[in-house]
C-alpha cells in the first residue's frame, strides 16, 4: 500500500525513507506558510505503521488536537496539523503513484511526464549524478 501526504495543493508520496516537511526547498514536502518551520516534521513508515515526528519546530506538530513531543502513529483520516496547516494522509492506488508534488495533485494518472532527480543524503544540493528526465505516456 502506498500513501500520499497532502497539504492544500501540495503533496508528496511517502516512500521507503523519511518524508521531511517544512519551508526549506530541501524538504520533500515544501509548505510556504509562516506557521511552518524551515524543517518542521518528518513522516516515515515503521514496522507497517506510519509515524510523524516533530523536528524541533517553533509552532508544533499536532495529531488529533494534541501537540506531539515524540514519534506518533497516524492513519488516513487523522486530524494532523503542521503549525496551523492541515495535513492529509491518503491511501494511493498504484496507478496514482506516478503523481508528484512538483506536478500538482490534479493530474491524469495515465498521462504523466515525470522528472527524476537523485539527491545525496549527505547534504542538500549535492547530486549523485545529473538529473534524468523521461516521459511515459499511457504505457
Integer Cα distance of 123 and 114 in angstroms: 24
6, 86 contact by CB (below 8 A): no
CA distances from 124 to 42, 45, 67, 120, 128 (A): 16, 22, 29, 7, 11
Pick the closest to residue 114 from 93, 95, 133 (CA basis).
133
Query: Which of 16-25, 91-100, 105-114 shows the lowest mean pLDDT across its residues?
Result: 105-114
pTM over 0.85: no
pLDDT tens-digit profile of 105-129?
A: 444 444 433 333 333 343 444 444 4
Residues with Cβ within 8 Å of 25's Cβ and at least 6 positions away in sequence, in order, are none
pLDDT tens-digit profile of 5-17?
A: 999 899 999 988 8
Amino acid at each position: 500500500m502506498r500513501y500520499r501526504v497532502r497539504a492544500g495543493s501540495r503533496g508528496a508520496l511517502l516512500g521507503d525513507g523519511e518524508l521531511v516537511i517544512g519551508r526549506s526547498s530541501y524538504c520533500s514536502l515544501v509548505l510556504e506558510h509562516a506557521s511552518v518551520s524551515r524543517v518542521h516534521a518528518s513522516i516515515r513508515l515503521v514496522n507497517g505503521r506510519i509515524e510523524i515526528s516533530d523536528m524541533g519546530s517553533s509552532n508544533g506538530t499536532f495529531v488529533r488536537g494534541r501537540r506531539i513531543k515524540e514519534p506518533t502513529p497516524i492513519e488516513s483520516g487523522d486530524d494532523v496539523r503542521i503549525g496551523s496547516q492541515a495535513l492529509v494522509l491518503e491511501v494511493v492506488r498504484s496507478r496514482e503513484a506516478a503523481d508528484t508534488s512538483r506536478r500538482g495533485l490534479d493530474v491524469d494518472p495515465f498521462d504523466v511526464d515525470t522528472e527524476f532527480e537523485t539527491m545525496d543524503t549527505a547534504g542538500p544540493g549535492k547530486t549523485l549524478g545529473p538529473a534524468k528526465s523521461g516521459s511515459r505516456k499511457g504505457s
